[in-house]
A and B are shown apart, each in its own frame.
Chain A
Amino acid sequence: MSAAHDDHHHGPAKGLSRWLFTTNHKDIGTLYLWFSFAMFLLGGSFAMVIRAELFQPGLQLVEPNFFNQMTTMHGLIMVFGAVMPAFVGLANWMIPMMIGAPDMALPRMNNWSFWILPFAFAMLSSTLLMDAGAPNFGWTFYAPLSTTYAPETVTFFIFAVHIMGASSIMGAINIIATVLNMRAPGMTLMKMPLFVWTWLITAYLLIAVMPVLAGVVTMMLFDIHFGTSFFNAAGGGDPVLFQHVFWFFGHPEVYIMILPAFGVISAIIPTFARKRLFGYDSMVYATASIAFLSFIVWAHHMFTVGMPIAGELFFMYATMLIAVPTGVKVFNWVATMFRGSMTFETPMLFAIAFVVLFTMGGFTGLMLAITPADFQYHDTYFVVAHFHYVLVPGAVFSIMAATYYWLPKWTGHMYDERLGKLHFWLSFIGVNILFFPQHFLGLAGMPRRIPDYALQFADFNWISSIGGFLFGASQLILLVVVIKCIKGGKKATAQVWDGAKGLEWTVASPAPYHTFTTPPNPDLIEAP
């Protein structure tokens, strides 16, 4: 397939300036992915502090105030620093190659949208070193704890969120423009790989809700520094309004972190089952319906604020509805595996674990939707278990699956399968020891975000902490695998996986610096 890339362009620049000034989608994808991994380790180290403090009842390692800073920073960094940039990185690397485009539609903006991120997170993290301490009001930053009662570093937090938001919005615009305008001839919308579809829909979600997040932090800024009363009851404002605006952003945000994962899994399972994805069309429609529903369910995060019963019922029913398209997706993946010819390389292992564990997170999500039951679950470890199941063996496993899946395409070498499998099994066991007992903790009555707990919670907490340390340490294996793979290893073929389909597998491994400078032969494009 070497005809797909006649490489008459210049190669990458040398040294640091290659990375600073690059407009190449592959370079920028690489930057995003490394940045995301760094943030994953930073946010993970905060999680280790949390689990170490919760290892035993009593206060051992940190003060409650620092504990609150850890939970806040862990959440912010994992959501905005690790998961979202990882998916943007994957999008940068893969979307142009999947749709036969030479690059992203707006390469210079692409450079900007990455390079403002390190500033945002440096600004946010620097608050840890300041006298007043880092933000300590939770990643959901409910007013008035985050306004009238906030440490003065809240202003750094607000500007950091603004920059992250700008970065995400630029990234989203770029992806939409690329997908809508840069597809190779013959690549019709309904022939696009699902990863491209899910990202297209995610990008629209980002454009719709990141400005709302910017709006809510701007209102906070005004309340704190300019004497307005958006969220201050004394001046006629309303703290509950904050939660409505925040979750109007926050719930779609949850899907921003999971829809691209659906796309990744929908690419990997058919490859290793050696069988076409079951129900491609229904996958696209299911993704679109989940995205639509995500705008009308936000108040299920607020069942205890005292909404009128009509509101509670509406948000309960709407939330329950999400189970339908999500179920369709899971059924489709299982149907794809059914009567396939499966092999179980590391990406497939992560993908299967995703299907099982994400579904468990989905089940607890359905339970949480039931308003009266939510009165018991709300703000307990049951919620913590739920969203970590969706985000860690959900979103994060999908990112790891994607990494193993496309690593040979990126580096030109096969990764160390033995180490990859070790990484998978330790992560899989660790993540379950870490989060499964948290269901019990929540049901037994342990509130979330507390630095110390009553004695009846002791057993499951130390078990959970052990799982946490195991899971945390295992992630260093991923680093080793990736570095080894960059340095060398068995040469990867262009095809890499014998069941893989799609344009990205028609270019050489490693993918040349410039691909599809001339569009691929339309005959190569088949329905996924």
Chain B
Amino acid sequence: MSRESQTSTKRLVTKLMLTVVGMFGFGFAMVPLYDVICDITGLNGKTGDQVVQQTETVMVGDREITVQFLAQNAAGMDWEFRANDPQVKVKPGEIKVVSYHASNSHNYIMTGQAIPSVAPNEAAQYLKKLECFCFQEQVLQPGESVDMGIRFFVDESIPEHITKLTLSYSLFDITDYEKPQAAVTLN
């Protein structure tokens, strides 16, 4: 190869290597990018973990929307976990308080984390939570039972065709086990 084409090859290879590094970074950038897209579109029914500030009930019209509450335990989590009310009817803008029940029948302290999800996922962005037990980890003493509250309202701008929405919580065990149990492989 001539010297000239050698330097141009070097320049080209440098550019290509930078592209490789850039695309590796892009793979990771997809993580926050995806979250942003989820927040905007309600993709996947994510409700966002921001606390909404609103203190006054502003009721709009007399539409009634049914909000259903689901609870389920993720694998390895066997607290008793259920919604105290299977469903409530709310008017857009009206602030409601409901609660979930959890109890730990183990003889050790456990930490749980509830992950919310909304169906239809289009509705996620209209469900505004003022207070939610999913904002914090839940630490339960051996044998302890708690009722955990949610204060929420449905935004007035919710589209007409949504008359029912489902708020579901999956409860995960995030106890930091000190024993090396977690190192045992699964299947």
A and B touch in the complex (CB under 8 A): yes
Binding site for B on A (CB under 8 A): 65, 105-106, 132, 136, 148-152, 169, 172-173, 176-177, 180-182, 207-216, 218-219, 230, 233-236, 238, 240-241, 244-245, 248-249, 306-308, 310-311
Give the residues in chain A near B174, CB-CB below 8 Å. 234-235
CB pair A234–B185 under 8 Å, yes or no, is: no
- Using A105-B9, A181-B5, A248-B30 as known contacts, say yes or no to A152 and B185 having CB atoms under 8 A apart: yes
Q: How many A-B residue pairs have CB under 8 A?
A: 113
Contact of A230 among B31, B42, B172 (CB under 8 A): B31
**Can you list, as one digit per residue, whether each of B152-176 has a CB less than 8 Å from chain A (1) or not (0)?**
0000000000000000001011100
CB pair A148–B186 under 8 Å, yes or no, is: yes
Give the residues in chain B near A151, CB-CB below 8 Å. 185-187
Binding site for A on B (CB under 8 A): 1, 5, 8-9, 12-13, 16-17, 19-28, 30-31, 34, 38, 41-46, 49, 74, 113, 115, 121-122, 170, 172-174, 185-187
Give the residues in chain B near A181, CB-CB below 8 Å. 1, 5, 8-9, 12
Select the residue from A181, A241, A248 with max chain B CB neighbours within 10 A.
A181
Contact of A212 among B27, B34, B43 (CB under 8 A): B27
CB pair B121–A211 under 8 Å, yes or no, is: no
Subset of 21 A-B contacts with CB under 8 Å:
A65-B187, A150-B185, A151-B187, A152-B185, A173-B20, A176-B16, A177-B13, A181-B5, A211-B21, A211-B27, A212-B27, A212-B30, A214-B24, A234-B173, A236-B115, A238-B46, A241-B30, A248-B30, A306-B45, A308-B42, A311-B41
Alpha-carbon gap, A258 to B186, bound state (A):
37
Alpha-carbon gap, A233 to B170, bound state (A):
9
Give the residues in chain A near B12, CB-CB below 8 Å. 176-177, 180-181
CB pair A240–B44 under 8 Å, yes or no, is: yes
CB pair A245–B21 under 8 Å, yes or no, is: no
CB pair B43–A308 under 8 Å, yes or no, is: yes
Give the residues in chain B near A132, CB-CB below 8 Å. 185
Give the residues in chain B near A311, CB-CB below 8 Å. 41, 43
CB pair B121–A308 under 8 Å, yes or no, is: yes
Contact of A211 among B1, B20, B170 (CB under 8 A): B20
CB pair A215–B9 under 8 Å, yes or no, is: no
Which residue of chain B has the shortest Cβ distance to A209 in the bound complex? B23
Alpha-carbon gap, A182 to B9, bound state (A):
9
Which residue of chain B has the shortest Cβ distance to A109 in the bound complex? B13
**Beyond A148-B186, A151-B187, A311-B41, 8 additional pairs, beta carbon < 8 A:** A105-B1, A106-B9, A181-B1, A181-B8, A211-B20, A211-B22, A215-B23, A234-B115
Interface of A is mostly: helix
CB pair A308–B24 under 8 Å, yes or no, is: no
Chain B: minimal CB distance from A65 (Å): 7
CB pair A238–B5 under 8 Å, yes or no, is: no
Contact of B20 among A106, A169, A182, A238 (CB under 8 A): A169
CB pair A173–B115 under 8 Å, yes or no, is: no
CB pair A208–B9 under 8 Å, yes or no, is: no
Chain A: minimal CB distance from B175 (Å): 11
Chain A: minimal CB distance from B12 (Å): 5
CB pair B121–A306 under 8 Å, yes or no, is: yes
Give the residues in chain B near A208, CB-CB below 8 Å. 19, 23
CB pair B186–A149 under 8 Å, yes or no, is: yes
Give the residues in chain B near A211, CB-CB below 8 Å. 20-24, 26-27
Alpha-carbon gap, A114 to B26, bound state (A):
27
Give the residues in chain A near B34, CB-CB below 8 Å. 238, 241, 244
Chain A: minimal CB distance from B55 (Å): 27
Alpha-carbon gap, A241 to B46, bound state (A):
12
Alpha-carbon gap, A236 to B23, bound state (A):
24
Give the residues in chain A near B9, CB-CB below 8 Å. 105-106, 177, 181
CB pair B27–A214 under 8 Å, yes or no, is: yes
CB pair B24–A233 under 8 Å, yes or no, is: no
Alpha-carbon gap, A219 to B30, bound state (A):
12
Give the residues in chain B near A173, CB-CB below 8 Å. 13, 16-17, 20
Give the residues in chain B near A244, CB-CB below 8 Å. 30, 34
Chain A: minimal CB distance from B47 (Å): 12
Alpha-carbon gap, A151 to B186, bound state (A):
6
CB pair A207–B115 under 8 Å, yes or no, is: no
Give the residues in chain A near B19, CB-CB below 8 Å. 207-208
CB pair A234–B172 under 8 Å, yes or no, is: yes
Contact of B115 among A106, A214, A233 (CB under 8 A): A233
Which residue of chain B has the shortest Cβ distance to A216 in the bound complex? B27
Give the residues in chain B near A219, CB-CB below 8 Å. 27-28, 31
Which residue of chain B has the shortest Cβ distance to A137 in the bound complex? B187
Alpha-carbon gap, A311 to B172, bound state (A):
29
CB pair A238–B44 under 8 Å, yes or no, is: yes
Give the residues in chain A near B31, CB-CB below 8 Å. 219, 230, 241
5 tightest CB-CB pairs across the interface, nearest first?
Answer: A215-B27, A234-B172, A211-B24, A211-B23, A212-B27
Contact of B43 among A180, A245, A307 (CB under 8 A): A307
CB pair B115–A215 under 8 Å, yes or no, is: no
Give the residues in chain A near B20, CB-CB below 8 Å. 169, 173, 207, 210-211
Chain B: minimal CB distance from A299 (Å): 11
Which residue of chain A has the shortest Cβ distance to B174 in the bound complex? A234
Alpha-carbon gap, A233 to B30, bound state (A):
17
Alpha-carbon gap, A340 to B26, bound state (A):
48
Give the residues in chain B near A230, CB-CB below 8 Å. 31
CB pair B187–A245 under 8 Å, yes or no, is: no
Give the residues in chain A near B1, CB-CB below 8 Å. 105, 181-182
Select the residue from A65, A132, A218, A233 with max chain B CB neighbours within 10 A.
A233
Alpha-carbon gap, A386 to B31, bound state (A):
31
CB pair B13–A215 under 8 Å, yes or no, is: no
Give the residues in chain A near B16, CB-CB below 8 Å. 172-173, 176-177, 207
Chain A: minimal CB distance from B143 (Å): 23
Which residue of chain A has the shortest Cβ distance to B34 in the bound complex? A241
Give the residues in chain B near A233, CB-CB below 8 Å. 74, 115, 170, 172
Alpha-carbon gap, A307 to B22, bound state (A):
28
CB pair A215–B24 under 8 Å, yes or no, is: yes
